[in-house]
Amino acid sequence: MLRTLIGALLLTMITNAFNLIGIDLYVQYVFKGLVILAAVGFDSFYKARS
Asked whether the beta carbons of 39 and 7 are under 8 A apart, the reply is yes
Q: Tens digit of pLDDT for each residue in 11-39?
A: 999 999 999 999 999 999 999 999 999 99
Return the beta strands (E) in the chain as ranges: none
pLDDT of residue 11: 93
DSSP 22: T
Domain boundaries, given as residue ranges, for the chain = 2-49
pLDDT of residue 17: 96
Residue 4 has pLDDT above 90, yes or no: no
Q: What does the alpha-carbon distance between residue 46 and residue 40 come to, in Å, rounded to a whole number?
A: 10
Q: What does the alpha-carbon distance between residue 8 and residue 12 come to, in Å, rounded to a whole number?
A: 6
pLDDT tier, 5 (very low <50, low <70, confident <90, very high otherwise): very high
* pTM > 0.85: no
Residue 47 has pLDDT above 90, yes or no: no
